[in-house]
Amino acid sequence: MSLVFWPLSLLFRLLAFIRRFAFKFEILSSWRSPVPVVVVGNITVGGAGKTPLVIALCELLKDKGFNIGVVTRGYGGTADAPVIVNGNTDPALAGDEPVLIAKRTGSPIVVSRNRVAAVQHLIANHSIDCVLCDDGLQHYALKRDLEIAVVDAAYRFGNRFCLPAGPLREPVSRLATVDFSVFSGSDRTEAGYSLVGSQLVNISDESVTRTLESFAGKSVHAVAGIASPANFYNYLRSFGIDTKEHTFGDHAEFSQAEIDFGDDLPVVMTEKDMVRCRGFDLKNIWYLPVSACLDRALADEIISAIEELIAKRKNNVI
């Protein structure tokens, strides 16, 4: 770590504390939604696995009969005003992750850099029992009823320094104040979830699927434009697949030419990357849908807490 960044890191940490203090004691104003808001965020920059958890919670709550909406920034999208997203929305407008959430859950999704405006737009246009906020742990202008922090079990907190000397948006002590810390990854020792998936889906015709086992012993071009591409490559290799790795930046806008490798080998990518490749005229491209498999006790605890919040808000208790 450069000594130049160390004092800047201390300054960043101080400013983060002052900002949170100002919102907590209403020196800076914040807005409370008429329906409960559950924030799923993290304290590090980059991907920790928030979106798969949001999808899983959305599906679990919908199975309970609740109407769930999701708000998110829509990283990489060009939208300025709040935009309602569905599974066919152009990711160039809304970002890839919101389109993925909409495609997987069928729930109403609103994208906006302003989380308050996003929630207001969502509840003005849909009947919602609860709002899940994908990211936004540090967006204190929006009051939240429940905080869930996702921690990458492999990466954890890097060198434990705040920006710019390290990856932290807030110090590790912030986790003591959230309602749930959820660790992502198959090699974790703490409560959390693992990503699981077994079927590859053809991008050109989603009715065509193949098992991962059917690719065992074969070579594929593995394409990943995500925060932790090694996790994707390792997962494919765990099924005996020989992966020729092609790594792009997170949320990268790659072209058809960039994933046309001039041979007959299949191209396999993540579901998030697929969102940006629909319409490509390449037949042998497959994507891997994965789901967050939450530890049962943790899932029950989180869902029970959200159910209680919904009931209290409907009865005007909070």
Provide the edge-to-edge strand list for the sheet that holds 267-270.
209-211, 199-202, 285-288, 267-270, 219-224, 242-247
**Is residue 145 a contact partner of residue 133, using CB atoms and an 8 Å limit?**
no
Q: CB under 8 Å to 211, separation ≥6 — which residues?
A: 198, 199, 200
pLDDT (0 to 100) of residue 3: 65
What's the average pLDDT block by block, 10 residues per block, for the chain (318 residues)?
A: 78 95 96 98 90 97 98 89 94 93 97 96 97 96 98 92 94 97 92 96 94 97 92 95 95 88 95 90 92 97 98 84
Distance CA 318, CA 313 (A): 5
- Confidence at residue 76, expressed as pLDDT on a 0 to 100 scale: 83
pLDDT at position 290, please? Answer: 96
CB 38 within 8 A of CB 135: no
Do the beta carbons of residue 105 and residue 52 sit within 8 Å? no
pLDDT at 318: 65
The model's pLDDT over 150-185, given as tens digits with 9 standing for 90+, comes to 999 988 999 999 999 999 999 999 999 999 999 999
**What residue spans define the domains of the chain?**
13-194+293-314, 198-289
**Which are the contacts of 194, defined by CB distance < 8 A and separation ≥ 6?**
184, 185, 186, 188, 292, 293
Q: From CA 43, how far away is CA 173, in angstroms rounded?
A: 10
Pick the CATH number of 13-194+293-314 from 3.40.630, 1.10.150, 3.40.50, 1.20.140: 3.40.50
Residue 92 has which token pair? 């160039």
